[in-house]
Structure 1
Amino acid sequence: MAFSKIGLIGKYGDPSVAGALLRIAGLLKNKDCEVWLDASTAEHIPEHNLAIADFDELGQKCDLAITVGGDGTLLHTARSLVDHKIALLGVNLGHLGFLVDVSPEQLEKQLDEVISGVYVEEHRIMLTATIENANESDPRISDAFNDVVIHKWEVARMIEAETYIDGRLLNTMRSDGLIISTPTGSTAYALSGGGPILAPDMDAVVIVPICPHSMSYRPIVLDGASKIEVLVRENPHSHAQVTCDGQINMGLVSGDKIRIERKQTRVRLIHPPEHNHYHVLREKLRWSEHL
């Protein structure tokens, strides 16, 4: 499938992406593509002649969204556009990312291939976190492409929580927190916490404890269809919050229940045709260095 209606999104609040965005816009217009610039990005690019659209309009008008920045920019864009089911392509600004792999040096060639319909497409799962409290009528909800992290605020304080899988008790734990990660997020915070690396196209979720009080509590991989519930136990001396993708924060109080489940819609992630996930792992994790 070729693309002809393109939305451009730059790293939030970073004016240094202006040159790359305008270069991409020029290349796309030379191929007779319709191009829109994200409204928030446009605020940091004073001189341009591009049409402007917010995320909702981009989702309705475009068949491809191109992010310029790092993995964080693509995470934000994925959460904003996933319900519109449009494809996402990430351009990095000099540092290879796990998600953004179009390089500045190969930009024209790789962009031409993708626009012409020559690319690798992945469909990756996303999570939805819902916080419920008996004293609140409306639950708080956020999506996550990488991970949902339940963690403490205070230093040197633990949180106590019960974790249920499909309504059955998994464990009761005291720890600094809990990471519930997608395969995409398995190379992020979950990896730092000792979790396994999952193949990006797997339909699975991994739970990784953060500094658990019991050393017997190890990471566990679950089927992607599993419904996870975490109940924060009452503790007047400790406070916790939920963070999605390191970007969305929601405070917790004792008695809150957090439901995490796979979102019905998947993220459509586009890569250049030569994309190789294991090459990215070798480069990012430095597995190719000589000992």
Structure 2
Amino acid sequence: MPVSPETQKTIALVVRHNTVGIEEPVRGIIAFLQVAGYRVVFESETAAHLNMPDIGAMSASEIGEVAEAAIVMGGDGTMLGIARKLAPYALPLIGINQGRLGFMTDIPIERTLPVLAEILAGKSDSEKRTLLEGRVLREGVEIASGLAVNDVVVARGAGAGMAELKVTVDGHFMYNQRSDGLIISTPTGSTAYALSAGGPLLHPSLGGVVLVPIAPHALSNRPIVLPDSCNIVVEVVSGRDVSVNFDMQTFASLAHGDQIVISRSPHHITFLHPEGWSYYDTLREKLHWNEYPSGEGKLR
């Protein structure tokens, strides 16, 4: 019996812009989903960059209201952008890697169709990730806000000297820090900028937030992991061209005395992975933990 438009399930496609040769695999996924009985729509920015007028387009909010899932073809940056928009809708996300690293877009492009078939048949591992939300206050008035899947970063300008930041946690003074900036990261973001600045890896299931100073003036100023129930306030004491960004995608310029109030978001994102997926497999593959210098470090 054919599926009626009223009962047909919708799956959204989000594709990284300006990816050479992407049209053929996109067409293949669309055909596969349509044969399986799904209605396929593009996220509106994807539709604007792909010349496929036969496929409908929806805004992120419309997708969140009607879709069963969103398939994201790109790198982690593509996933970050759409995940923040869809977070209020708890829509499952399936990541197909068209980027370089692919911590969140973990399905290899060559395995797309068989893995999609398994996931749509219910053979998948579901994983929830927390987000941070931040509000920028100037004299008590909110002037900007944002969500972060990876991190909230307060940093000085490229040509400026060190910034001084006052950090308070749950109303308790932590420190005044002189540095190039401060990274406030989720467990998801602990494998991103926070890791390159010397922060620890946090398993995604941990309820933690990591604070990582960027090139601190005092070498004793080390990263710290806090409960994600904390309310963190970062105040700009001094420094030129200081700004705050959320996942490097939303920016706000800061003035002395501005406060960034950061807490765990009530929303979360859900990734659907191939059945048997392992976070540790991902770490070995992406961070090359299984590699040794030639002839060294192997058990004999």
Q: TM-score range by the shorter chain?
A: over 0.9
Is 2:188 the counterpart of 1:188? Answer: no
Structure 2 letter corresponding to 1:187: T
Is 2:162 the counterpart of 1:158? Answer: yes
Structure 1 letter corresponding to 2:264: R
Structure 2 letter corresponding to 1:202: L
* Identical columns (%): 37
Cα deviation per residue 1:51-83 (whole Å; 9 max; x = unaligned)? 111111111110201110001100001100000
Residue pair 2:236, 2:256 contacting (<8 A) in 1 also: yes
Cα deviation per residue 1:13-70 (whole Å; 9 max; x = unaligned)? 4464333222211111110012111111111111341111111111111020111000
Residue pair 1:39, 1:52 contacting (<8 A) in 2 also: yes
Residue pair 1:38, 1:54 contacting (<8 A) in 2 also: yes
Shift of 1:156: 5.1
5+ residue gaps, structure 1, are: none
Q: 1:261 to 1:94 in 2, by over 3 A?
A: closer
Aligned to 1:265, the other structure's residue is in SS state strand
Aligned to 1:79, the other structure's residue is in SS state helix
Give the counterpart of 2:129 among 124, 147, 154.
124
Query: Within 2, Cα distance between the matches of 1:47 and 1:172?
Result: 54
Q: TM-score, normalised by structure 1?
A: 0.94
Cα deviation per residue 1:172-219 (whole Å; 9 max; x = unaligned)? 010000000000000000000100000011111000000000001000
Query: Within 2, Cα distance between the matches of 1:176 and 1:225?
Result: 26
Aligned to 2:267, the other structure's residue is in SS state coil
Alignment of 1:45-194 (within 5 A): 45-93=50-98, 95=100, 97-134=102-139, 137-155=141-159, 157-194=161-198
Residue pair 2:135, 2:142 contacting (<8 A) in 1 also: no
Q: 1:94 to 1:251 in 2, by over 3 A?
A: closer
Is 2:14 the counterpart of 1:9? Answer: yes
Structure 1 letter corresponding to 2:70: A
- 1:222 maps to 226
Shift of 1:275: 1.2
- 1:25 maps to 30
- 1:204 maps to 208
Residue pair 2:76, 2:99 contacting (<8 A) in 1 also: no
Cα deviation per residue 1:60-115 (whole Å; 9 max; x = unaligned)? 11020111000110000110000011111110127451111111121111000111
23-32 or 10-19, which deviates more: 10-19
5+ residue gaps, structure 2, are: 1-7, 294-300
Aligned to 1:263, the other structure's residue is in SS state strand
- 1:213 maps to 217
Is 2:296 the counterpart of 1:288? Answer: no
Structure 1 letter corresponding to 2:163: I
Cα deviation per residue 1:119-156 (whole Å; 9 max; x = unaligned)? 0111110000110001x744311000000000011335
Residue pair 1:15, 1:45 contacting (<8 A) in 2 also: no
- 2:279 maps to 277
Query: Within 2, Cα distance between the matches of 1:127 and 1:232?
Result: 19
- Greater Cα radius of gyration, structure 1 or 2: 2
Query: Within 2, Cα distance between the matches of 1:11 and 1:161?
Result: 36
Number of equivalenced pairs: 286
Q: TM-score, normalised by structure 2?
A: 0.91
- 2:261 maps to 259
Shift of 1:253: 0.8
- 1:247 maps to 249
Structure 1 letter corresponding to 2:157: W
Query: Within 2, Cα distance between the matches of 1:47 and 1:98?
Result: 29
Residue pair 2:163, 2:238 contacting (<8 A) in 1 also: no
